[in-house]
Amino acid sequence: MRHSTVFPAARVTLRVLIVLNGILGALIFALLAISFLAQEWTWRALGVGAVAGHEGVVTGMRAIMVIGILATPIAYVVLSRLLRIVESVRTGEPFTMDNAMRLRTIAWALLGLELLHICVVGIASAVSTKQVPLRINANFHPIGWLAILLLFVLAEVFVEGTRMREDLEGVV
């Protein structure tokens, strides 16, 4: 495994994604700030037009921006914990209690991201108008929810595997 190209590629990819996640969060924050500082320009650029008459859409879009900002640290948790797992596998120590806890943390974070997505869809549906439709992908994807369940189960497998390894080391 130490000679596999998967782990160096995964480490580089995860580090790039961590940086891009931070940049995306900063850009969403900047867009939110600009939406207050240069209202007319911002909303025209986003296709809303004049704010007057579209206050609900503007409020909804700002709420979605806040959710995007909140999602940034949650995505960081997923990416950083996954990077630590990849690094532990590379060093030959994948079955540890730390990795079990990381998997559990990733599962909770992904659950949080899925719930935030539901909030975004709800907000978009509530404030969308014929004049200014907010088209947000509202499709239900069971694979994401299945992945969350899989991560919780895998975390427990890691806990049990770690206990079994520790018991075996105690016997030897």
Nearest-angstrom CA–CA distance, 138 and 128: 13
pLDDT reported for residue 172: 60
- 45-86 pLDDT, tens digit per residue, is 887 776 667 788 889 999 999 999 999 999 999 999 999 999
How many domains does the chain fold into?
A: 1
> What is the predicted pLDDT for the residue at 110?
97
Q: Say if residue 99's pLDDT is above 70.
A: yes
Q: What is the pLDDT of residue 34?
A: 94
Above 70 in pLDDT, residue 44? yes
53 part of a folded domain? yes
C-alpha 109/C-alpha 152 separation (Å) is: 11
Domain range for 133 is 6-171
Confidence at residue 50, expressed as pLDDT on a 0 to 100 scale = 66
Tell me if 14 is assigned to some domain.
yes
Assess whether pLDDT exceeds 80 at residue 3. no
29 falls within a domain: yes
What tens digit of pLDDT does each residue of 126-156 get?
988 888 777 887 778 899 999 999 999 999 9
Q: What's the chain's average pLDDT?
A: 89
Instruction: Evaluate whether residue 161 is within a structural domain.
Output: yes
Q: What is the pLDDT of residue 36?
A: 92
CA distance 3 to 24: 33
Number of H helices, E strands in the chain: 5, 0
Residue 1 lies in a domain: no
CB 117 within 8 A of CB 74: no
State mean pLDDT over 92-118. 94
